[in-house]
Structure 1
């Protein structure tokens, strides 16, 4: 089971959108068995995936599993471990509890690792114990970022947080920054140029070596609000938006060496 954290220190940058839509992509386009863990107490991803009717929600919640450990009783091809209010209180236990929480979470996930191809963590918007738990157990991390000055100023701090966790988990591979809600105006074009100049080496890139990004499209927000994959809905709009953003999901899958189960079936036959 390959594990990826969708992370950033800031809220409102599109973590939940990227996490939930990438989960849809892995489950429906690649036919993979997906475990989704929502570590943001707001539970936006939990709501989107649950309302889609495409995933089953576990009776166990993320906060319970981190705090107490235990077993995930369900086995499903697309399973959600949902957010809960306990997540917001874990940090109050203090840093002395970090090792216990990480161990609890590790043992739970290790027990079911053979059941899933990929595990996706939607992390909290603060660098607290939830983010540490996810990154300490992840193989990969990706960080969506908006093209405003505040976000650009925070890149250095974000990268330092990644390096701190890599001291605990040297296997963590940071796949890079992913510009989100990109619009074609002079202000954002200038910020994108600045981002490429300063951090071009750590931008997520497609198979052609060019950086990928997610455009600002109302159809993406509508898909999230309606709890469905972005490529569904009004056919003409969905097809257009999907053409624009599929490179992002393909780049992520390629970076994680994820291969469609459909391909595996063909090989076996």
Structure 2
């Protein structure tokens, strides 16, 4: 199962746009069963696919912090055939604190997404927050491929080098 992460600690680099459109393309053009996992507190990946993330009873935070919550409890279909969404919202800001005592806190996402393989997904696409905290570390542990969208400016390229160092540390 492919697991593609779009990461950059800088905001405004089109991570969400690329994640949503890549997931939709894989579902539509490659006829794959795709799970788009939003891990940004803004919830824009879910919003981009028509979900009102503010009113959903559960989201990715609940999956990552409550072992009683199953993947099927927090996955929502999109209008794109073959594309499901695991949405996020503001609760994700509390994720580092909620799992602080867990020795496998950097592996929570990878561990909980084993159910995606069992559910028959061919690919998982991750939209990440604009930071290099515990949430992004979880994404890097869970991902098999990393895409770093970056503008061609000096500071943006310098930031990309920092991201590359982090990816090497996790890998």
Q: Aligned residue for 1:30?
A: 30
* Change in 2 beyond 3 A, CA 1:161/1:87: same
User: Does structure 1 residue 106 correspond to structure 2 residue 110?
Assistant: yes
Structure with max Cα Rg: 1
Equivalent residue pairs, number? 159
Please point out which of 43, 60, 63 is paired with 1:62: 60
Which residues of structure 1 form unaligned runs of 5+? 52-57, 167-269
> SS of 1:18's equivalent?
helix
Give the Cα–Cα distance (whole angstroms) in 2 for the partners of residues 159 and 101 of structure 1.
18
How many angstroms does 1:99 deviate by? Answer: 1.5
Structure with higher RCO (Cα < 8 A, 6+ apart): 2
Cα deviation digits, residues 1-41 of structure 1 (max 9, x gap): 21111101111011001000101101111111000100011
Q: Secondary structure at the match of 1:126?
A: coil
**If the length of structure 2 is used for normalisation, what is the TM-score?**
0.83
CA distance in 2, matches of 1:22, 1:110: 21
- Mapped to 1, the partners of 2:65 and 2:57 lie a distance apart of 15
Alpha-carbon distance in structure 1 between the residues aligned to 2:140 and 2:84: 20
Aligned ranges 1:220-235 → 2 under 5 Å: none
TM-score (norm 1): 0.54
Q: What are the superposed Cα offsets for residues 78-97 of structure 1, whole Å, 9 maximum, x if unpaired?
A: 21000121111223357544
**Partner Cα separation in structure 2 for residue 29 and residue 37 of structure 1:** 19
* Superposition CA RMSD, Å: 2.2
Given that residues 98 and 129 in structure 1 are in contact (C-alpha distance below 8 angstroms), is that contact kept between their aligned partners in structure 2?
no
- Is the Cα contact below 8 Å between 1:67 and 1:101 reproduced in 2? no
Are 1:101 and 1:133, in contact at CA under 8 Å, matched by a contact in 2? yes
1 CA distance for matches of 2:103 and 2:5? 18
Identify the residue that residue 91 of structure 2 maps to in structure 1. Answer: 86
| 2:5 pairs with 1:5 | yes
